[in-house]
Structure 1
């Protein structure tokens, strides 16, 4: 898959001490029980876009142009959760409800062909205990659902994403993971998953619309060789490809969960 870089949007770096809680530094994933202070003023930027509405068509014309879903493993309920405006989908399929390994496939949706894969499956890690459709702080499960992807950031320079990108030294995860692996570099590149967060802000923004008890800080980030606290992790090269591929004009979403949940 060839992924061409685009002009990046950058946010001003945020102070590490003001934005990361002790829990974030210890866990290696940004899902913690205590909220951190809000980001500095000016950190939020609008990372989304809204496609113009087309003129209404007669029902018969709409029916003739109907296209198949094209994403294997998704049941009718899950398909309905994907917004009509979405033209990019990152599908994360766990190996099982309690498994911490998954596969990630990128899909694009065209007017005629419907959803088509943009490449092969990538290996990934998810949370230590698997998945939950009612994620809570400390359950060590990744949230199941369909969520927007509007904001990115990391310790390293923007690799060429079209998403707003917040670079700063606050993206650091010292210590070790569940398998004793070092967490250094896990937050070199991140994409915020819009679960219990405010879209259009830095991934470090600690606003929790559902309340602190429902967790948050769920990201795509660089894989450190073991399960996460709630995030989805990919090899560093794949993270850079994902960042370059995501296009806010196509309203990208992530569809994530175990096979049983996805197939409903």
Structure 2
């Protein structure tokens, strides 16, 4: 029996979903695809009796004009204020996966880290990625062949092969084995040699194989980051094997990592 431990908190964004476990990113019967401030100094104690008066600005300029407003907090590159607001305050590591449009099944992923002053800088990637056959959705249902849009924690890993050196809890299990063919007729074998579970409709802190679906089975589940098999997925995000191994080694649970994923028009809001 596999042992799986450690668990970051669950983060759900909007109404999202993914495909069923193990079959969630693999199908042997392809459907017809669609197109793809700085505070004012208090002064010395000896100056208490002198009332403070703000320094005069240029004539006609209000004291609280934009020129005196504090700078906005840094955002992840390519991410708008609404999406950034969904990133937890304690998160300092984020994988951003973006597609050009809502119907694209090709995307790009870059790993970012936040420094002590709040700036986000790339630390790995960009990597080419694939997502679901029909693109993206903010209201995913099982079988819709779209990848959920949103911000989700990523804190549990596993696979058929041994741990490649991650700091995440890792469940090695033969149940990650898969066979059959994908939407382009490509073999699916090896797709789950390594996976990272995306905390969409799952209980964090458990093996990616866990089948509990807090939102209900109709909302899907088993949404993973896994090995690219050469074609679009049912709901997951797929990276080339070595890129995925690099990502798994880089993810640090102490940094509360998340994945921010969706088409550019949605993420830039």
Distance 1:91 1:216 in 2: 20
Secondary structure of residue in 2 paired with 1:233: strand
CA contact 2:109–2:127 (8 Å) conserved in 1:
yes
1 CA distance for matches of 2:122 and 2:87?
16
- The secondary structure found in structure 2 opposite 1:127 is coil
1:224 aligns with one of 226, 229, 246: 229
Shift of residue 64 of structure 1? 7.1
TM-score, length of structure 1 as denominator length: 0.77
Per the normalisation by structure 2, the TM-score is 0.76
Give the drift of 1:173.
1.7
Q: How does 1:56-71 map to 2 (within 5 A)?
A: 60=39, 67-69=73-75, 71=76
Match of 1:99 among 97, 104, 122: 104
- Map of 1:115-264 to 2, 5 A cutoff? 115-264=120-269
The superposition leaves residues 94-113 of structure 1 with CA deviations (integer Å, 9 ceiling, x where unpaired) of 12100100000000001125
Candidates 3, 16, 27, aligned match of 1:12: 3
2-structure distance, mates of 1:216, 1:27: 7
Give the RMSD, CA atoms, in angstroms.
Answer: 2.3
Deviation at 1:28, TM superposition (A): 4.1
Structure 1 residues 59, 12: CA separation in 2 closer, same or farther (over 3 Å shift)? same
Aligned to 2:89: 84
Q: CA deviation at 1:24?
A: 4.9
**8 Å contact kept, 2:24–2:223:** no
Which deviates the most, 106-115 or 162-171?
106-115
- Give the equivalent residue in structure 2 for 1:53: none
Residues 175/207 of structure 1: CA separation in 2 closer, same or farther (3 Å cut): same
Unaligned runs of 5+ in 1: 1-9, 14-22, 31-57
Deviation at 1:65, TM superposition (A): 9.2
User: In the TM superposition, what is the alpha-carbon distance from 1:12 to its structure 2 partner?
Assistant: 2.8
Partner of 1:6: none
SS, match of residue 210 in structure 2: coil
Which structure 2 segments of 5+ residues have no match? 5-19, 28-36, 41-68
User: Which runs of 4 or more aligned residues in structure 1 lie more than 3 Å from their structure 2 counterparts after TM superposition?
Assistant: 23-30, 58-61, 63-67
Q: Once the 2 structures are TM-superposed, how far is the Cα of residue 166 of structure 1 from its aligned partner? A: 0.3
Do the aligned residues in 1 keep the contact of 2:181 with 2:187 (CA within 8 Å)? yes
Q: 1:66 to 1:263 in 2, by over 3 A?
A: closer
Q: Deviations over 1:195-222 (max 9, x none)?
A: 0100000001111111111111000000
Distance 1:25 1:120, change over 3 A: closer
Question: Equivalent residue for 2:63?
Answer: none
